[in-house]
Amino acid sequence: MSNPQTAKTKPKFGHVAIAGRPNAGKSTLLNALIGARLAIVSDKPQTTRSSIMGVVTDPAGQIVFFDTPGIHKSDTLINRRMMQSVRAALDGKDLLLYVADAKAGEVSDEEKQALDALRRARESSPVPAFLVLNKIDLVDDKRLLLPRLQAFQEAFPFDEMIPVSARKGEGLAGLKKAIFAKLPFGQPRFEADYLTDMPERNIAAEVIREKILQFTGEEVPHSVAVVVEQWVEKPNVAHVTASIIVEKEGQKPILIGAKGAMIKRIGTEARKSLEELLGRKFYLELFVKVKPKWRENESFLNELGWQNTSEVI
Ligand SMILES: Nc1nc2c(ncn2[C@@H]2O[C@H](COP(=O)(O)OP(=O)(O)OP(=O)(O)O)[C@@H](O)[C@H]2O)c(=O)[nH]1
Ligand SMILES: [Mg+2]
Protein backbone atom coordinates (compact mmCIF):
# COMPACT_ATOMS: atom_id res chain seq x y z
CA MET A 1 0.00 0.00 0.00
CA SER A 2 1.25 3.48 -0.76
CA ASN A 3 1.83 5.86 2.03
CA PRO A 4 0.24 9.24 1.15
CA GLN A 5 2.96 11.05 3.10
CA THR A 6 5.82 9.58 1.04
CA ALA A 7 3.86 9.87 -2.20
CA LYS A 8 3.55 13.60 -1.51
CA THR A 9 7.24 14.19 -0.90
CA LYS A 10 8.73 11.86 -3.52
CA PRO A 11 10.24 14.10 -6.22
CA LYS A 12 9.39 13.90 -9.91
CA PHE A 13 11.88 14.15 -12.76
CA GLY A 14 11.37 14.24 -16.53
CA HIS A 15 12.19 15.60 -19.98
CA VAL A 16 9.59 17.75 -21.72
CA ALA A 17 9.74 18.97 -25.33
CA ILE A 18 8.05 22.22 -26.40
CA ALA A 19 6.97 22.15 -30.07
CA GLY A 20 4.57 24.01 -32.35
CA ARG A 21 4.24 26.36 -35.33
CA PRO A 22 6.63 29.31 -35.73
CA ASN A 23 5.67 32.32 -33.59
CA ALA A 24 3.27 30.36 -31.31
CA GLY A 25 5.20 31.53 -28.24
CA LYS A 26 7.29 28.43 -27.42
CA SER A 27 10.39 30.36 -26.39
CA THR A 28 8.32 32.86 -24.39
CA LEU A 29 6.77 29.88 -22.59
CA LEU A 30 10.18 28.31 -21.85
CA ASN A 31 11.44 31.62 -20.45
CA ALA A 32 8.32 32.11 -18.33
CA LEU A 33 8.58 28.59 -16.92
CA ILE A 34 12.28 28.78 -16.05
CA GLY A 35 12.09 32.43 -14.94
CA ALA A 36 14.94 33.72 -17.15
CA ARG A 37 15.17 35.16 -20.66
CA LEU A 38 17.28 32.29 -21.92
CA ALA A 39 15.64 31.59 -25.29
CA ILE A 40 15.46 34.55 -27.64
CA VAL A 41 12.03 35.84 -28.62
CA SER A 42 10.83 37.98 -31.52
CA ASP A 43 7.70 38.78 -33.46
CA LYS A 44 9.34 37.30 -36.60
CA PRO A 45 8.67 33.62 -37.35
CA GLN A 46 11.57 31.12 -37.21
CA THR A 47 13.39 32.91 -34.43
CA THR A 48 14.59 29.74 -32.69
CA ARG A 49 17.00 27.78 -34.88
CA SER A 50 18.11 24.90 -32.67
CA SER A 51 16.84 23.09 -29.59
CA ILE A 52 17.43 24.92 -26.28
CA MET A 53 17.48 23.17 -22.91
CA GLY A 54 16.20 24.87 -19.75
CA VAL A 55 15.83 23.37 -16.27
CA VAL A 56 13.08 24.14 -13.77
CA THR A 57 13.67 23.22 -10.13
CA ASP A 58 10.55 23.13 -7.98
CA PRO A 59 9.56 21.64 -4.62
CA ALA A 60 7.68 19.00 -6.66
CA GLY A 61 10.82 17.99 -8.59
CA GLN A 62 12.80 18.92 -11.67
CA ILE A 63 11.74 19.39 -15.30
CA VAL A 64 14.18 19.58 -18.20
CA PHE A 65 12.48 21.52 -21.01
CA PHE A 66 13.56 21.58 -24.66
CA ASP A 67 12.41 24.55 -26.70
CA THR A 68 12.47 23.78 -30.45
CA PRO A 69 12.33 25.64 -33.77
CA GLY A 70 8.80 26.19 -35.12
CA ILE A 71 7.63 23.34 -37.35
CA HIS A 72 7.70 24.57 -40.95
CA LYS A 73 8.51 23.49 -44.50
CA SER A 74 11.95 21.91 -44.97
CA ASP A 75 12.68 23.75 -48.20
CA THR A 76 16.29 24.80 -47.66
CA LEU A 77 19.27 23.15 -46.01
CA ILE A 78 19.00 25.38 -42.92
CA ASN A 79 15.27 24.60 -42.62
CA ARG A 80 15.94 20.88 -42.94
CA ARG A 81 18.54 21.12 -40.19
CA MET A 82 16.06 23.05 -38.02
CA MET A 83 13.46 20.31 -38.47
CA GLN A 84 16.06 17.66 -37.64
CA SER A 85 16.64 19.55 -34.43
CA VAL A 86 12.88 19.35 -33.65
CA ARG A 87 12.85 15.62 -34.38
CA ALA A 88 15.85 15.03 -32.12
CA ALA A 89 14.25 17.10 -29.35
CA LEU A 90 11.01 15.09 -29.46
CA ASP A 91 12.85 11.79 -29.23
CA GLY A 92 12.75 9.95 -25.92
CA LYS A 93 10.84 12.60 -23.96
CA ASP A 94 8.39 11.96 -21.11
CA LEU A 95 5.93 14.57 -22.36
CA LEU A 96 5.33 16.87 -25.33
CA LEU A 97 3.85 20.35 -25.06
CA TYR A 98 2.34 21.49 -28.34
CA VAL A 99 2.01 25.28 -28.26
CA ALA A 100 -0.62 26.93 -30.47
CA ASP A 101 -1.78 30.52 -30.83
CA ALA A 102 -5.27 30.97 -29.32
CA LYS A 103 -6.01 34.10 -31.32
CA ALA A 104 -5.27 32.39 -34.66
CA GLY A 105 -8.80 30.96 -34.76
CA GLU A 106 -9.48 27.56 -36.24
CA VAL A 107 -6.91 24.83 -36.77
CA SER A 108 -5.19 25.94 -40.00
CA ASP A 109 -3.75 23.67 -42.70
CA GLU A 110 -0.24 24.59 -41.55
CA GLU A 111 -1.23 23.65 -38.01
CA LYS A 112 -2.59 20.30 -39.23
CA GLN A 113 0.68 19.64 -41.07
CA ALA A 114 2.63 20.40 -37.91
CA LEU A 115 0.37 18.05 -35.93
CA ASP A 116 1.03 15.36 -38.57
CA ALA A 117 4.75 15.84 -38.01
CA LEU A 118 4.12 15.44 -34.29
CA ARG A 119 2.10 12.29 -34.94
CA ARG A 120 4.96 10.83 -37.02
CA ALA A 121 7.48 11.77 -34.35
CA ARG A 122 5.35 9.92 -31.78
CA GLU A 123 5.11 6.72 -33.84
CA SER A 124 8.33 5.25 -32.48
CA SER A 125 7.56 6.16 -28.84
CA PRO A 126 3.98 7.02 -27.76
CA VAL A 127 4.61 9.86 -25.29
CA PRO A 128 1.74 11.88 -23.79
CA ALA A 129 1.07 15.27 -25.38
CA PHE A 130 -0.60 18.42 -23.98
CA LEU A 131 -2.01 21.26 -26.03
CA VAL A 132 -0.88 24.59 -24.60
CA LEU A 133 -3.24 27.15 -26.09
CA ASN A 134 -1.17 30.31 -25.73
CA LYS A 135 -1.82 34.08 -26.01
CA ILE A 136 -5.25 33.91 -24.34
CA ASP A 137 -4.64 37.53 -23.26
CA LEU A 138 -5.42 38.44 -26.90
CA VAL A 139 -8.81 36.70 -26.84
CA ASP A 140 -11.29 39.12 -25.26
CA ASP A 141 -14.29 36.83 -25.41
CA LYS A 142 -13.11 33.79 -23.43
CA ARG A 143 -16.14 31.80 -24.65
CA LEU A 144 -14.27 31.52 -27.98
CA LEU A 145 -11.64 29.35 -26.34
CA LEU A 146 -13.91 26.34 -25.94
CA PRO A 147 -14.63 25.73 -29.66
CA ARG A 148 -10.91 26.23 -30.36
CA LEU A 149 -9.97 23.62 -27.81
CA GLN A 150 -12.57 21.26 -29.28
CA ALA A 151 -11.19 21.75 -32.81
CA PHE A 152 -7.70 20.88 -31.58
CA GLN A 153 -8.99 17.81 -29.77
CA GLU A 154 -10.55 16.63 -33.04
CA ALA A 155 -7.28 17.20 -34.90
CA PHE A 156 -5.05 15.41 -32.38
CA PRO A 157 -5.62 13.12 -29.38
CA PHE A 158 -4.16 15.46 -26.74
CA ASP A 159 -4.07 14.08 -23.19
CA GLU A 160 -4.79 17.52 -21.77
CA MET A 161 -5.47 21.01 -23.09
CA ILE A 162 -4.40 24.02 -21.09
CA PRO A 163 -5.08 27.65 -22.03
CA VAL A 164 -2.29 30.04 -20.96
CA SER A 165 -0.71 33.40 -21.56
CA ALA A 166 3.05 32.88 -21.53
CA ARG A 167 3.55 36.64 -21.70
CA LYS A 168 1.29 37.45 -18.74
CA GLY A 169 2.04 34.27 -16.78
CA GLU A 170 -1.64 33.25 -16.74
CA GLY A 171 -2.32 29.53 -16.36
CA LEU A 172 1.35 28.63 -15.89
CA ALA A 173 1.03 27.36 -12.31
CA GLY A 174 -1.74 24.99 -13.49
CA LEU A 175 0.37 23.91 -16.46
CA LYS A 176 3.34 23.12 -14.22
CA LYS A 177 1.11 21.12 -11.90
CA ALA A 178 -0.30 19.11 -14.82
CA ILE A 179 3.23 18.45 -16.12
CA PHE A 180 4.44 17.17 -12.75
CA ALA A 181 1.36 14.93 -12.50
CA LYS A 182 2.40 13.22 -15.77
CA LEU A 183 6.14 12.87 -15.03
CA PRO A 184 7.71 9.77 -13.48
CA PHE A 185 9.18 9.80 -9.99
CA GLY A 186 12.90 10.54 -9.95
CA GLN A 187 15.64 12.38 -8.11
CA PRO A 188 16.83 15.76 -9.41
CA ARG A 189 19.88 15.47 -11.65
CA PHE A 190 20.99 19.10 -11.58
CA GLU A 191 21.89 21.60 -8.86
CA ALA A 192 18.92 23.78 -7.85
CA ASP A 193 20.37 26.87 -9.62
CA TYR A 194 21.32 25.03 -12.84
CA LEU A 195 19.65 26.65 -15.86
CA THR A 196 20.96 25.27 -19.14
CA ASP A 197 23.64 23.27 -20.92
CA MET A 198 23.90 25.98 -23.57
CA PRO A 199 27.50 27.28 -23.73
CA GLU A 200 27.94 30.99 -22.88
CA ARG A 201 29.35 31.59 -26.39
CA ASN A 202 26.06 30.40 -27.91
CA ILE A 203 24.02 32.46 -25.43
CA ALA A 204 25.99 35.57 -26.46
CA ALA A 205 25.51 34.84 -30.18
CA GLU A 206 21.77 34.32 -29.67
CA VAL A 207 21.33 37.52 -27.63
CA ILE A 208 23.03 39.51 -30.42
CA ARG A 209 20.75 37.84 -32.99
CA GLU A 210 17.71 38.72 -30.88
CA LYS A 211 18.58 42.42 -31.02
CA ILE A 212 19.08 42.22 -34.80
CA LEU A 213 15.61 40.61 -35.14
CA GLN A 214 14.12 43.35 -32.96
CA PHE A 215 15.72 46.35 -34.65
CA THR A 216 15.84 45.43 -38.33
CA GLY A 217 13.00 45.01 -40.83
CA GLU A 218 11.64 42.03 -42.72
CA GLU A 219 14.52 41.77 -45.18
CA VAL A 220 17.35 40.96 -42.79
CA PRO A 221 16.32 38.45 -40.04
CA HIS A 222 16.44 35.14 -41.90
CA SER A 223 19.69 36.07 -43.62
CA VAL A 224 21.60 36.67 -40.39
CA ALA A 225 23.87 34.40 -38.40
CA VAL A 226 26.07 35.41 -35.47
CA VAL A 227 29.43 33.81 -34.72
CA VAL A 228 31.46 34.54 -31.59
CA GLU A 229 35.05 34.78 -32.83
CA GLN A 230 36.87 35.56 -29.62
CA TRP A 231 36.14 35.41 -25.88
CA VAL A 232 38.74 36.77 -23.49
CA GLU A 233 38.09 36.78 -19.72
CA LYS A 234 39.69 39.81 -18.04
CA PRO A 235 39.61 40.48 -14.26
CA ASN A 236 36.23 42.29 -14.18
CA VAL A 237 34.91 41.97 -17.69
CA ALA A 238 34.67 39.50 -20.57
CA HIS A 239 35.79 40.85 -23.97
CA VAL A 240 33.69 39.25 -26.69
CA THR A 241 34.26 39.72 -30.42
CA ALA A 242 31.47 38.54 -32.70
CA SER A 243 30.72 38.59 -36.42
CA ILE A 244 27.29 39.23 -37.83
CA ILE A 245 27.08 37.24 -41.06
CA VAL A 246 24.74 38.40 -43.83
CA GLU A 247 24.12 37.01 -47.31
CA LYS A 248 24.26 40.12 -49.47
CA GLU A 249 26.50 43.17 -49.69
CA GLY A 250 23.33 45.34 -49.63
CA GLN A 251 22.40 44.09 -46.14
CA LYS A 252 25.64 45.38 -44.63
CA PRO A 253 24.65 49.07 -44.56
CA ILE A 254 21.27 48.16 -42.97
CA LEU A 255 23.07 46.51 -40.07
CA ILE A 256 25.70 49.20 -39.71
CA GLY A 257 23.23 52.08 -40.01
CA ALA A 258 23.89 55.80 -40.52
CA LYS A 259 27.25 56.63 -38.96
CA GLY A 260 27.22 53.17 -37.32
CA ALA A 261 24.09 53.94 -35.28
CA MET A 262 22.42 50.55 -35.85
CA ILE A 263 25.40 48.37 -34.98
CA LYS A 264 25.98 50.53 -31.91
CA ARG A 265 22.38 50.06 -30.79
CA ILE A 266 22.54 46.29 -31.36
CA GLY A 267 25.80 46.13 -29.40
CA THR A 268 24.57 48.23 -26.47
CA GLU A 269 21.28 46.36 -26.08
CA ALA A 270 22.93 42.94 -26.49
CA ARG A 271 25.52 43.83 -23.85
CA LYS A 272 22.79 44.87 -21.38
CA SER A 273 20.81 41.64 -21.93
CA LEU A 274 23.93 39.53 -21.63
CA GLU A 275 24.97 41.21 -18.39
CA GLU A 276 21.48 40.63 -16.97
CA LEU A 277 21.41 37.00 -18.05
CA LEU A 278 24.94 35.99 -17.06
CA GLY A 279 25.35 38.32 -14.08
CA ARG A 280 28.68 39.92 -14.99
CA LYS A 281 30.24 42.66 -17.12
CA PHE A 282 30.82 42.38 -20.86
CA TYR A 283 32.60 44.37 -23.54
CA LEU A 284 31.19 43.58 -26.99
CA GLU A 285 32.84 44.23 -30.32
CA LEU A 286 30.76 43.52 -33.43
CA PHE A 287 31.72 43.18 -37.11
CA VAL A 288 29.50 42.64 -40.14
CA LYS A 289 30.64 40.16 -42.80
CA VAL A 290 29.11 38.98 -46.06
CA LYS A 291 28.96 35.24 -46.77
CA PRO A 292 26.83 34.54 -49.85
CA LYS A 293 24.38 31.63 -49.54
CA TRP A 294 25.55 30.65 -46.05
CA ARG A 295 22.16 29.03 -45.35
CA GLU A 296 22.94 26.36 -47.97
CA ASN A 297 26.57 25.97 -46.88
CA GLU A 298 26.98 22.61 -45.19
CA SER A 299 30.33 23.23 -43.49
CA PHE A 300 29.26 26.65 -42.19
CA LEU A 301 26.04 25.20 -40.73
CA ASN A 302 28.14 22.52 -39.03
CA GLU A 303 30.36 25.27 -37.64
CA LEU A 304 27.25 26.99 -36.24
CA GLY A 305 26.39 23.77 -34.42
CA TRP A 306 23.64 22.35 -36.63
CA GLN A 307 24.88 18.82 -36.89
CA ASN A 308 23.49 16.65 -39.61
CA THR A 309 21.33 13.78 -38.48
CA SER A 310 19.80 11.26 -40.85
CA GLU A 311 16.22 11.56 -39.62
CA VAL A 312 13.92 14.17 -41.08
CA ILE A 313 10.63 15.19 -39.50
N1 LIG B 1 0.07 38.66 -26.49
C2 LIG B 1 0.89 37.63 -26.32
N3 LIG B 1 2.00 37.53 -27.08
C4 LIG B 1 2.81 36.47 -26.89
C5 LIG B 1 2.56 35.48 -25.90
N6 LIG B 1 3.54 34.56 -25.97
C7 LIG B 1 4.38 34.97 -26.94
N8 LIG B 1 3.96 36.13 -27.50
C9 LIG B 1 4.59 36.89 -28.60
O10 LIG B 1 4.60 36.11 -29.76
C11 LIG B 1 5.78 36.35 -30.54
C12 LIG B 1 6.52 35.06 -30.80
O13 LIG B 1 7.03 34.55 -29.56
P14 LIG B 1 8.20 33.47 -29.51
O15 LIG B 1 8.29 33.02 -28.11
O16 LIG B 1 9.44 33.98 -30.16
O17 LIG B 1 7.56 32.33 -30.42
P18 LIG B 1 8.19 30.93 -30.85
O19 LIG B 1 7.07 29.95 -30.90
O20 LIG B 1 9.34 30.58 -30.00
O21 LIG B 1 8.66 31.26 -32.34
P22 LIG B 1 9.79 30.51 -33.24
O23 LIG B 1 11.03 30.39 -32.43
O24 LIG B 1 9.94 31.43 -34.39
O25 LIG B 1 9.20 29.20 -33.64
C26 LIG B 1 6.60 37.37 -29.74
O27 LIG B 1 6.33 38.66 -30.24
C28 LIG B 1 6.07 37.19 -28.31
O29 LIG B 1 6.21 38.35 -27.52
C30 LIG B 1 1.37 35.63 -25.09
O31 LIG B 1 1.05 34.82 -24.21
N32 LIG B 1 0.59 36.72 -25.37
MG1 LIG C 1 11.30 30.25 -30.45
Nearest CA to ligand 1 atom 9: 25
The residue range of the domain holding 161 is 4-182
Nearest CA to ligand 1 atom 6: 25
139 and 281 co-located in one domain: no
40 and 119 co-located in one domain: yes
C-alpha 1/C-alpha 264 separation (Å) is: 65
Is 69 close to ligand 1, i.e. is its CB under 6 Å away? yes
When pLDDT is cut at 50, 70 and 90, the band that residue 80 belongs to is confident
174 and 218 co-located in one domain: no
How many structural domains is the chain composed of?
2
- State pLDDT tens for residues 95-153: 999 999 999 878 998 899 889 888 887 777 788 999 999 999 999 999 999 999 999 99
Percent of the chain with pLDDT over 90: 73
C-alpha 221/C-alpha 255 separation (Å) is: 11
C-alpha 50/C-alpha 67 separation (Å) is: 8
Q: Which of 69, 66, 68 is nearest to 95 (CA)?
A: 66
8 A C-beta contact, residue 301 and residue 82 = no
Is 169 close to ligand 1, i.e. is its CB under 6 Å away? no
C-alpha 288/C-alpha 134 separation (Å) is: 36
Phi and psi of 229, rounded to 5°? -90, -35
20 and 48 co-located in one domain: yes
Phi and psi of 170, rounded to 5°? -70, 135
Is 25 close to ligand 1, i.e. is its CB under 6 Å away? yes
90 and 117 co-located in one domain: yes
Show which of 153, 182, 211 is a domain's final residue: 182
**151 Cα: distance to centroid of ligand 2 (angstroms):** 24
Mean pLDDT across 26-48 = 94
C-alpha 18/C-alpha 24 separation (Å) is: 11
**197 Cα: distance to centroid of ligand 2 (angstroms):** 17
Mean pLDDT across 261-276 = 97
Q: Exposed, middle or buried by CB within 10 Å (0-12, 13-18, 19+), for 128? A: middle
What confidence score (pLDDT) does residue 86 get?
77
Show which of 182, 210, 226 is a domain's final residue: 182
Mean pLDDT across 261-286 = 97
What confidence score (pLDDT) does residue 303 get?
83
150 and 71 co-located in one domain: yes
CATH number at residue 146: 3.40.50.300
